[in-house]
Amino acid sequence: MYKKILVPIDILEDELSQELITHIEQIAKVGKPEIHFLTVIPNAELFFGIEFAAIPEKFKDSSERTRLAFIALEDMIKDAKIPDEQIVCNVGVGNAKDEILEYARQIDADLIAIASHRPNVSSYLLGSTASSIVRHAQMSVLVIR
């Protein structure tokens, strides 16, 4: 029985994320696990793709982007049939796979549930984020297809 399940959500992939959430609704019924939904947004350097020093000061601050990502994440899971007291939402800033693995370690998750890849990127068996997580996670990983 799982106690803490980490569900990384890409807020730019609505359809894919909804599929993932549908699976989680079922798993969430067994033993009342905590379900941690985490979305990761790029830091300013990754976001703008230019030399950091050249970025105007106000855009370096990721708090506004974090706030908006949090709202988008909450909106994505608002219809999920999972009791509120089981849900935790969080936003990470940086590289998706690193943030996901670090968050999983911090909460001592016993499962990470991810989708395999974006539907339009069919040439890959596993997306790059998904494959890094499968390879490096110290806990079980459920890949949903």
- Binding residues for ligand ADP, rule: CB under 6 A, are 8-10, 16, 20, 38-40, 96, 114-115, 117-118, 121, 127-130
Cβ-based nearer residue to ligand ADP, 65 or 118: 118
- For residue 84, give Cα distances in angstroms to 10, 73, 129, 132: 20, 14, 28, 30
Q: Report, in Å, the least distance between residue 131 CB and ligand ADP.
A: 7
Q: Report, in Å, the least distance between residue 7 CB and ligand ADP.
A: 7
Q: Report, in Å, the least distance between residue 84 CB and ligand ADP.
A: 21
Q: Report, in Å, the least distance between residue 81 CB and ligand ADP.
A: 19
Q: Which of 119, 120, 114 is nearest to 134 (CA)?
A: 114
The DSSP call for residue 86 is G
Cβ-based nearer residue to ligand ADP, 33 or 39: 39
Name 90's bridge partners: 38
Name 92's bridge partners: 40
Cβ-based nearer residue to ligand ADP, 33 or 127: 127
Cβ-based nearer residue to ligand ADP, 57 or 64: 64
Q: Provide Rg for the chain, Cα atoms.
A: 15
The DSSP call for residue 31 is S
